[in-house]
Structures are given as C-alpha cells and as structure tokens.
Chain A
C-alpha cells in the first residue's frame, strides 16, 4: 500500500505494509533516529512525534493511520528559533542528563506550548505525564518548560 504524508515539511510517499509501526518507518526508511525507542508500549514517550501538532507515541501507531497527516520529528524542528529557545531552557534548567528522553520531552513541550503558550505548572505536568525521565527527575524538565513559556516562545 502507498501511504502519503508530510514529513518535516516535505511530502513523502511510503510503500509497504500499513501495519508497520511509525517509529520503524521513521528510523529505518527515513533515517530519523532522533525518534528513540524506550518501552515500545506507549508508556515512556521516548518515541514521541508531532502529528498535526499533537504529541503522539510513534511506537504504537501503525503507519497506515497517518495518511494525509503532517508529521514532525525532532529533526524537523531543529532549525527553528523556538527549538533553540527550548533547548537553551532545557540546558539552563539542568533538564538534560543522558539525553535519551530529551527529543520526546521537547516534542511534548512543543505540543503543549502550541496548545497553550502560558500553561500552569499543573498543565505542564499533565502534558508531560506520558514522558518518563530516568535521570533528572521531572522537576527540572517542568522548570525548563516554564522558563520557555516566560521567554514568550510562540508558534
């Protein structure tokens, strides 16, 4: 089956089984290895991507479900000003240690800040609840998102 979608701003066509996991298609076929696999069961958020602006775990989504949709991975955000602000805030808050969870955390933060540029702490915790960090503890990550929001990050 041919499945067409937009990937990091470009129209792409995938040819193959629609049941393949989106994470495998992104990593193996498109070389987007910023998409990490942790649990493989939707519990940790390491594999998060943006679909039509919403953060979604790509390890439990078959590629057949994304036809016609707009997908962004961390690679597609890298050159944006907002990404750089967010990364600075993560660094300043000490929210990056081993870095494994970071792409997923950034994706979730982008989705949240798109939805609401001035989220409350509760809302930040609520939106990041599907992303686990084994190293830093969530507090620093929550601080990083607050900082980005205070700096007036806009999409």
Chain B
C-alpha cells in the first residue's frame, strides 16, 4: 500500500518531497480522477502522496509591492470572489468546472497539471504571471510560460513544490476573456482566449493575446504583439481579420474528440477578431 503524508508545515512537506519523491496532492480533483479505481477500492496511486491543501503558508492572496501573490493551495472558489485578483483571471475561474469542484480545486493544481485546456493558464500567460518554486535547497521563480514545457509537462523538479503564483499589478483599459465550450459548467475548454490592452489617446501602448487549447501549450507571441504597439486603434480595427490572422500559423491544435482542429483554429481567430472589432 502506498503511503500518504500529512505534514504540518511547508518545510516538513519539502522534506517529505525530497526524501520520498511523494507527489503533491492539493484539491485532488485531477489526481483522484486520474487514479480512479472501482467504487470502494483505494485509488490507484503508484507513488506516495503528500497532502498540501491545508498548509497555511501556501494559502491565501496578498497584494504587496506591486505584485499580487496567490498561494498555490488557494481554492478556485476563494479566488473567484477576491477583488485583488485581476478580472480576466476571475472570469476564467468562474467558468471552470462547477462551484462544488471549485470549492476544493486549487490554482496550483491547475497550473501544475499543465493541460493544454487548463483554464487558469490562458489569463496567467496574458498577465505575465510567474511561479515560485520551493525545495529544501531554496526558492526560484520562473515565468509561467517557461514553467509549462509541454502538454502535461512542467519544469517542476522532483523535490519542488509550487508555492505561489505572482502577478504584476497593472491595470488595463481593455480586458476580455472568453471560453467556447459545449456545456458551460463541466466541459474542459475547447478554446479559450484572453486579451488585454492599454489604449491611451487612441494609441495602443500595450496589448496581449493568449489562446488556450489550440496548441500543445498556451499560445502567446510577444513578436506579433509588438507589431500592434504605437499604432492607432482605428488602423487595427480597419483591418481586424488581417491582424487576427497573424496568429494563425501558431495555432496547431491537437485533434481530439472535443472539437476538430480546424474548428478550434477558426474559433480562436474569430475570438481575436471580435476582441479587436468590439472591445479594443
């Protein structure tokens, strides 16, 4: 029988992780489904498990020094009602699963799961979020796009725990989030999209586009975004489809049963066109 550990502190959790290679279990909403067994039987875990959802050090939200710091074990339900959380992220969260699952599922679990359809990742990419990783040897911080290395894959070392998600506090004049899926509550997103912009006197000063579930990882391109900067909103709106199409070569959906690749690509571009024409 595999072991489960319930440490009292983060330090203790990191020791356990370093010494046993136990996998962190936060809300368990991904892990328990992945290791499902027949009813009544123990879930099929092959490695030991370390419970982390109760650790106060990695729970809660703080806004300080121009940064919003989100404890990795904070639940999605706690975040969706917290004014300190940027609106695009809250919007994405309130469209994830249903409220009952959000009462236990954590943001750290969604990030570490690294699903191409993981719904917090799209706004986190757009917001230039970073992740703080701790081990018994110390702490390091990575930009979220460097942390996610592939579908279901991250740069998390076997002795590390994600402790915090950090987001620079910054307000945008335009914010948009949309998820196009089948059934609102449950379907993992087919296509999701977040866009942020800062427009001043009709001039675009900052703009970010992030696309989810249209490639092995979230798509964001600073190079394409740069081409929008210092142009007028009118110029971009005048040729919205052309501008949105610039992202098309980056959209390489995995064709699965949820929606065909072609459909996903089309929806993604349409969402970008909509953002440019109606929101920007």
CB within 8 Å for A54 and B4 given contacts A48-B100, A130-B185: no
Give the complex CA separation of A129 and B1 in angstroms: 36
Q: Which of the 9-residue segments B41-49, B216-224, B226-234 touches chain A?
A: B41-49
- B39: chain A residues at CB < 8 Å are 23-24, 37, 40
Inter-chain contact total with CB atoms closer than 8 Å: 101
Q: Is the CB of A65 within 8 A of B1?
A: no
Q: Is the CB of B77 within 8 A of A19?
A: no
Majority-rule SS of B interface residues: loop
Q: Is the CB of A65 within 8 A of B186?
A: no
CB within 8 A of B185: which of A59, A68, A129? A129
- A43: chain B residues at CB < 8 Å are 186
Q: Is the CB of B4 within 8 A of A62?
A: yes
Residue B36 CB within 8 A of the other chain: yes
- Mask: chain B, 24-63; 1 = CB below 8 Å from A; 0 = not: 0101110011001001101101000101011000000000
Number of residues on chain A facing chain B (CB within 8 A): 36
Q: Which residues of B contact A (CB under 8 A)?
A: 1-2, 4, 6, 25, 27-29, 32-33, 36, 39-40, 42-43, 45, 49, 51, 53-54, 77, 97-101, 103-104, 184-186
Can you list 27 A-B pairs with a CB-CB distance of less than 8 A? A3-B6, A17-B1, A18-B51, A19-B4, A19-B43, A21-B43, A23-B39, A24-B40, A37-B39, A40-B36, A45-B98, A51-B104, A54-B77, A60-B101, A60-B104, A62-B4, A62-B25, A65-B25, A65-B28, A65-B54, A67-B6, A108-B100, A129-B99, A129-B184, A129-B185, A130-B98, A130-B185
